[in-house]
């Protein structure tokens, strides 16, 4: 029997079940421990970036190469004949899927990956569609949390910063809520968690609380997930005030739990001071590295039957 993700599209985190998320995390760990340089030998994966996103693209392309597959594709669709000749995405997808065994795509418009999956004959992985979903970021976050805590179950997880526009925060909350985690949302009022996420948590009877500063809760946490507050969203005085409450400094970590790990989707600006980097709690650079393992796991699962088949 096939693994449940074999030949499936990966478009949006809410499409994935708890079991499927666990399978991806387990597979990422297995590939990290035991590299599989031959797994995608003779497979062609298309890398389709209809808008530029260098780090995501490099991470996906590295994942393919480390599994022995070959990459075709483009790095900025706006600059290719795809963008310039006015072809529909539907037509582009039909052609690309006839050349490749799977493809991942980044597109500036919301819903592009879902649409592509409806016209593709091979699995599609969403590498970000406008402000909507970026599921592989969430999968690498989940893997990193699992790696550092040994479990995803019942953790106390705080999210800090821009919770309104931060799509990675939204999907990670949705994913972790399948594992009975407890949430602390620490954000300026103007950047609070959107209503639809709060309503979903209420419906599922998930415990969460809202806070004005990191210090209020930091000693209770297993995971502290920091995000960047964009200066442009505030006027100068307001920003100075906000900054002081939502910046993490090493001296705030004196009483924390031993297993606390600090994550950040990167790039960071000044929301984590560099003196935090040398504490045993900082884990954001390892997290970025895990992006490749999580994407390797995903490609391995959708393109082969080597893992998790029953």
Residue 108 binds other proteins (CB under 8 A): yes
Q: Which residue has the tokens 């399978």?
A: 23
Query: Interaction with other proteins in 35-94: which residues (CB under 8 A)?
Result: 88-90
| Spatial contact of 71 and 61, defined as CB atoms under 8 Å apart | yes
| Catalytic choice (66, 134, 170, 261) | 134
The CA distances from residue 37 to 32, 41, 67, 69, 249, in Å, are 12, 8, 4, 9, 40
Q: For other proteins, which is the closer residue by CB, 170 or 228?
A: 170
Residue 295 binds other proteins (CB under 8 A): no
Q: Tell me 291's DSSP state.
A: H
Q: Tell me 270's DSSP state.
A: S
Of 54, 42, 66, 47, nearest in space to 297 by CA: 66
| Spatial contact of 242 and 235, defined as CB atoms under 8 Å apart | no
- Count residues contacting other proteins (CB under 8 A)? 20
Q: Tell me 230's DSSP state.
A: P
State the nearest-atom distance from the C-beta of 184 to other proteins, in Å. 24
Q: Judged by CB under 8 A, which of 36, 107, 228, 295 binds other proteins? A: 107
CA 169-32-58 angle, 5° bins: 60
Residue 124 binds other proteins (CB under 8 A): no
d(CA 185, CA 188): 10
- Catalytic annotation on 106? yes
| 75 Cβ contact partners less than 8 Å away, ≥ 6 residues apart | 47, 49, 52, 54, 57
Query: Interaction with other proteins in 138-197: which residues (CB under 8 A)?
Result: 196
| Catalytic choice (9, 36, 56, 261) | 56
- Catalytic annotation on 85? yes
Q: For other proteins, which is the closer residue by CB, 148 or 177?
A: 177
Of 162, 159, 161, nearest in space to 181 by CA: 159
Q: Which residue has the tokens 């539907």?
A: 90
Q: Judged by CB under 8 A, which of 111, 210, 259, 268 binds other proteins? A: 111
- Catalytic annotation on 56? yes
Pick the stretch among 63-71, 127-135, 158-166, 216-224 that binds other proteins (CB under 8 A): 127-135
Q: Judged by CB under 8 A, which of 2, 81, 131, 151 binds other proteins? A: 131
Site track for other proteins across 223-262, x = CB under 8 A: ----------------------------------------
Q: Which residue has the tokens 């040994």?
A: 150
State the nearest-atom distance from the C-beta of 51 to other proteins, in Å. 12
Please, which residues bridge with residue 225 across strands?
Answer: 159, 263
| 308 Cβ contact partners less than 8 Å away, ≥ 6 residues apart | 3, 4, 5, 23, 26, 27, 301
Pick the stretch among 65-73, 113-121, 137-145, 236-244 that binds other proteins (CB under 8 A): 113-121
Pick the stretch among 2-10, 19-27, 111-119, 212-220 that binds other proteins (CB under 8 A): 111-119
| Spatial contact of 109 and 122, defined as CB atoms under 8 Å apart | no
Q: Judged by CB under 8 A, which of 47, 133, 168, 287 binds other proteins? A: 133
- Catalytic annotation on 18? no
- Catalytic annotation on 55? yes
Annotated catalytic residues are 55-56, 85, 106, 134
Q: Which residues contact other proteins by CB under 8 A? A: 12, 88-90, 107-112, 114-115, 118, 129-133, 196, 199
């Amino acid at each position: 029997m096939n693994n449940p993700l074999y030949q499936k599209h990966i478009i949006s985190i809410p499409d994935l079940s708890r079991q499927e998320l666990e399978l991806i995390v387990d597979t990422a760990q297995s590939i990290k421990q035991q590299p599989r340089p031959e797994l995608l030998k003779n497979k062609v994966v298309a890398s389709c970036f209809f808008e530029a996103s260098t780090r995501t693209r490099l991470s996906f392309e590295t994942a393919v190469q480390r599994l022995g597959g070959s990459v075709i594709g483009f790095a900025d669709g706006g600059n290719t004949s795809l963008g310039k000749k006015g072809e529909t995405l539907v037509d582009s997808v039909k052609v690309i899927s006839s050349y490749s065994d799977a493809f991942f795509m980044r597109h500036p418009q919301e819903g592009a990956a879902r649409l592509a999956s409806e016209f593709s004959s091979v699995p599609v992985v969403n590498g970000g569609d406008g402000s909507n979903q970026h599921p592989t970021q969430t999968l690498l976050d989940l893997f990193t949390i699992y790696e550092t805590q040994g479990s995803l179950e019942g953790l106390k997880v705080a999210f800090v910063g821009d919770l309104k526009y931060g799509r990675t925060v939204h999907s990670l909350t949705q994913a972790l809520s399948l594992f009975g985690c407890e949430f602390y949302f620490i954000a300026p009022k103007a950047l609070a968690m959107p209503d639809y996420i709060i309503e979903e948590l209420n419906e599922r009877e998930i415990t969460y609380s809202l806070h004005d500063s990191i210090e209020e809760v930091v000693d209770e946490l297993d995971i502290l997930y920091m995000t960047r507050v964009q200066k442009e969203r505030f006027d100068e005085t307001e920003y100075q005030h906000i900054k002081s409450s939502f910046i993490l400094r090493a001296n705030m970590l004196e009483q924390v739990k031993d297993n606390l790990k600090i994550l950040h989707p990167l790039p960071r600006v000044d929301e984590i001071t560099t003196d935090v980097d040398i504490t045993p709690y900082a884990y954001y650079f390892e997290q970025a590295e895990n992006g490749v393992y999580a994407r390797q796991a995903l490609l391995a699962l959708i393109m082969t039957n080597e893992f998790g088949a029953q």
